[in-house]
Amino acid sequence: MKKIFLFITALLMLASCGVQKAEDNGKIDVYASFYPVYDFARTIGGDDINLSAVVRSGAEPHGFEPTAADIAKISESDVFLYHGNGTDAWAEKIAETLPDSVMKVRLSDADTIAKGDAHTWLSLQNAEGELEAVCKALTEADENGENDAKYSDRLNDYTAKLDALKAEYDAANLTAVPLAAAHDAYRALCYETAMNYLPIDSVTGGEPSPAQLAEVVKSIKDKGAKYIFYDPIDGDKLAESAAREAGIETAELYAFEGDNENRDYETVMRFNLEQLKKSK
Ligand SMILES: [Zn+2]
């Protein structure tokens, strides 16, 4: 009886080893600093990579600090993708300390619009460049050549979707339409659409005093903004107080810094277009 028990235990141990091996099935391990980077890697890599995000998808990324355990995991990965320009400042710092065995890719290096801004992925043209940079990185890092065509097919399909969406943004003719936003995330988007940008938190440096708020509200009224936009991930407190002062409404606009619904970039930017059209 004891022998049979030991035999079964040994079988179970073998089986569990087998399961662990099946999970590590030769795919490359990719870490993405935060949500837009994670989403772009998911779009290109699909099921052919093991992908993890360091900042969880529903979290606001500014001010995030990685734990020692986070850094240890990234150090053992094949590819570390980060954005650069400040929103994932922690990633920029740790990229310099990671071992040579980890390929480090700074996606904002591929930007062509509003270069250096902290939220450049909100330009569709920049997003296309960043997706291309992800595709190049995965192709280089992945020794399984069969995946190369899958990565480039996904890039081509998604770029076509973004080109179509860009044509819809152009057709909406948002030139000079005011975009008032609680969080200063839409500089690149306004550069691309030629919208009249009125950010609140950069003008006042975070929580505005009553006098500062009054000054921003005056310019929002002068420019004829219909809404003050906020991203639900930041909460609506600042937008609500500014909108109350201005006598206008608040509305949602996503900066895609994180997403509670785990949506992809094209879906969110399509929603944003409908919100911006209401501003005309
Ligand atoms: Zn931000």
User: Which tokens go with 161?
Assistant: 């979707």
Count Cβ atoms within 10 A of the Cβ of residue 70 and give its class: 0-12 exposed, 13-18 middle, 19 or more buried.
middle
CA of 199 to the centre of ligand 1 (A): 12
In this structure, are 33 and 165 located in the same domain? Answer: yes
Global pTM reads 0.90
CA of 47 to the centre of ligand 1 (A): 29
Final residue in a domain of this structure, among 101, 134, 169: 169
CA of 4 to the centre of ligand 1 (A): 61
CA of 119 to the centre of ligand 1 (A): 6
Q: What pLDDT score was predicted for residue 13?
A: 44
CA of 193 to the centre of ligand 1 (A): 19
In this structure, are 109 and 233 located in the same domain? Answer: no
77: left (phi over 0), alpha (psi -120 to 50) or beta: beta
CA of 60 to the centre of ligand 1 (A): 8
Q: What pLDDT score was predicted for residue 203?
A: 62
Q: What pLDDT score was predicted for residue 10?
A: 46
In this structure, are 57 and 162 located in the same domain? Answer: yes
In this structure, are 77 and 178 located in the same domain? Answer: no
User: Which tokens go with 25?
Assistant: 């099935």
Domain count, the chain: 2
CA of 87 to the centre of ligand 1 (A): 6
CA of 234 to the centre of ligand 1 (A): 9
Q: What pLDDT score was predicted for residue 205?
A: 60
Is residue 204 a part of any domain in this protein?
A: yes
CA of 125 to the centre of ligand 1 (A): 19
Cα 30 to Cα 91, 129, 165: the distances in Å are 14, 19, 28
In this structure, are 150 and 222 located in the same domain? Answer: no
CA-based nearest residue to 125, from 178, 86, 165, 85: 165
In this structure, are 52 and 160 located in the same domain? Answer: yes
In this structure, are 44 and 149 located in the same domain? Answer: yes
Is residue 126 a part of any domain in this protein?
A: yes
CA of 20 to the centre of ligand 1 (A): 38
CA of 185 to the centre of ligand 1 (A): 5
Domain span including residue 147: 25-169
Is residue 162 a part of any domain in this protein?
A: yes
Is residue 87 a part of any domain in this protein?
A: yes
In this structure, are 66 and 104 located in the same domain? Answer: yes
In this structure, are 72 and 177 located in the same domain? Answer: no
In this structure, are 80 and 113 located in the same domain? Answer: yes
CA distance 266 to 34: 17
CA of 186 to the centre of ligand 1 (A): 9
Q: What pLDDT score was predicted for residue 5?
A: 47
Final residue in a domain of this structure, among 143, 169, 195: 169
CA-based nearest residue to 259, from 84, 78, 121, 116: 121
CA of 143 to the centre of ligand 1 (A): 35
Is residue 10 a part of any domain in this protein?
A: no
CA 257 to chain centroid, in Å, comes to 5
Final residue in a domain of this structure, among 120, 154, 169: 169
Tens digit of each residue's pLDDT, the chain (280 residues): 444 444 444 444 444 433 333 356 789 999 999 999 999 999 999 999 999 999 998 888 988 999 999 999 999 999 999 999 999 999 999 999 999 999 999 999 999 999 999 999 999 999 999 999 999 999 999 999 999 999 999 999 999 999 999 999 999 999 999 999 999 999 999 999 999 999 998 765 667 788 888 888 999 999 999 999 999 999 999 999 999 999 999 999 999 999 999 999 999 999 999 999 999 9
CA of 184 to the centre of ligand 1 (A): 7
Is residue 199 a part of any domain in this protein?
A: yes
CA distance 32 to 53: 5
In this structure, are 226 and 206 located in the same domain? Answer: yes
CA of 231 to the centre of ligand 1 (A): 10
Is residue 9 a part of any domain in this protein?
A: no
Question: Domain containing 189 — which CATH number?
Answer: 3.40.50.1980
Q: Are 60 and 255 in contact (CB under 8 A)?
A: no
CA of 276 to the centre of ligand 1 (A): 19
CA of 229 to the centre of ligand 1 (A): 13
CA of 101 to the centre of ligand 1 (A): 31
Phi, psi at 265, each rounded to 5°:
-60, -45
Q: What pLDDT score was predicted for residue 265?
A: 98
Is residue 20 a part of any domain in this protein?
A: no
CA of 61 to the centre of ligand 1 (A): 7
In this structure, are 139 and 39 located in the same domain? Answer: yes
